[in-house]
Amino acid sequence: MSFKLLSTKKHHLSHEITDKRVFENRRKIIKAAAGTVIASLIPAGVKAEIKKYADVPVGPYSASLASTDYEDVKNYTNYYEFTTNKTDSTVLARALKTSPWSVTVAGEAENTGVFNLEDILKSNPLEERVYRFRCVEAWSMVVPWIGFPLANMLKRFKPTSKAKYVEFTTLYNPDIMIGQRGNVLEWPYVEGLRIDEAMHPLSFMATGMYDDELPAQNGAPLRLVVPWKYGFKSIKAIVKIRFTQTMPATAWNKAGPDEYGFYSNVNPDVPHPRWSQSRERVLGASIFTPKRKTEIFNGYGAEVASLYAGMDLKKYF
């Protein structure tokens, strides 16, 4: 059975959260009224746009929190494969062909090789059903991603006991991804997780957002989402997964090891060398809106703190 996950920070006061029954009834009334108006405006013989994931149901970590405006999320991205400008990827990524798409699996696993993405998504229908995951991103965005737990996909490849880390690699195509012609980072982009982080239910593979397919500039067709870490860990356009015994050399860690650690957990007590990370402002908010305190693990401490028990999180940042 499919399910939807709405996972959020826990700092919101109870009176700020709409009662679920009131919310659902109001939503049904609004949808019915809107549907009647829209239907009256559609010429005969013309079908209304159908969003691929519009009917994805609710998951086990359900909570209420307003999503960031879709236009803000769609048009404000860090996608250095195209540009260092946060808004231009919306246009530049249009040339990227995301179907068909294949993923190479290598390293310490029993089931390796080149796999068609569609085959991966259909390979285990009882475990890999898509669901909705509304998570708080480290940029203070609230994004309703559509996808499935990363663990569900990784288990298909049967990693061995030697697999201590999982390495992910982005597509390398400088003809289309023109930012790869420069040397701002070492290409292709590489990121990684410890195996227990990768298998945690909050590590998520996104194939869509806001009820529809994932836009190219947001990482289509396959994007990692790790909500308790800084955004650069959430690698886009994944074409390779490698299980390894040793910690992967990741793109930003290689570019600035004193600034970007391998773990990159959201931690207000560990400042970036050039700025404080103790406070944040929601994307789309006015510059006059006061910043709020950054939460350890981006608010997901109850779920993930046990992964780092006994570790010095200032040393292993």
Q: Any idea which of 13-27, 142-156, 266-280 has the lowest mean pLDDT?
A: 13-27
**pLDDT at residue 187 in the model:** 98
Name which of 54, 20, 62 is nearest 212 in CA terms. Answer: 54
* Structure confidence by residue, pLDDT tens digits, 106-140: 999 999 999 999 988 876 543 445 666 666 665 57
Looking at the domain assignment, is residue 5 inside a domain?
no
Looking at the domain assignment, is residue 313 inside a domain?
no
Looking at the domain assignment, is residue 316 inside a domain?
no
- What does pTM read for this prediction? 0.81
Using a 10 angstrom Cβ sphere, with 0-12 exposed, 13-18 middle and 19 or more buried, the burial of residue 301 is middle
Q: How far apart are CA 241 and CA 190, in angstroms?
A: 10
More confident residue, 205 or 57: 205
| CATH code of 89's domain | 3.90.420.10
Query: Structurally, how many domains does the chain consist of?
Result: 1
Phi, psi of 63 (to 5 degrees): -160, 165
Counting DSSP H helices and E strands in the chain, the numbers are 8, 12
Q: Do 203 and 193 meet the contact criterion of CB atoms below 8 Å apart?
A: yes
For the residues of 52-90, what is the DSSP string, one character each? TTTT----TT----PPPPHHHHHH---BTTTBSSTTTHH
* Structure confidence by residue, pLDDT tens digits, 272-305: 888 788 777 667 667 777 777 888 998 889 999 9
Looking at the domain assignment, is residue 90 inside a domain?
yes
Looking at the domain assignment, is residue 171 inside a domain?
yes
As a whole number, mean pLDDT of residues 20-24 equals 41
Q: How far apart are CA 45 and CA 214, in angstroms?
A: 28
Q: Which helix (H) or strand (E) holds 194?
A: strand 190-194
Domain that holds residue 27: 14-308
**pLDDT at residue 145 in the model:** 86
Looking at the domain assignment, is residue 3 inside a domain?
no
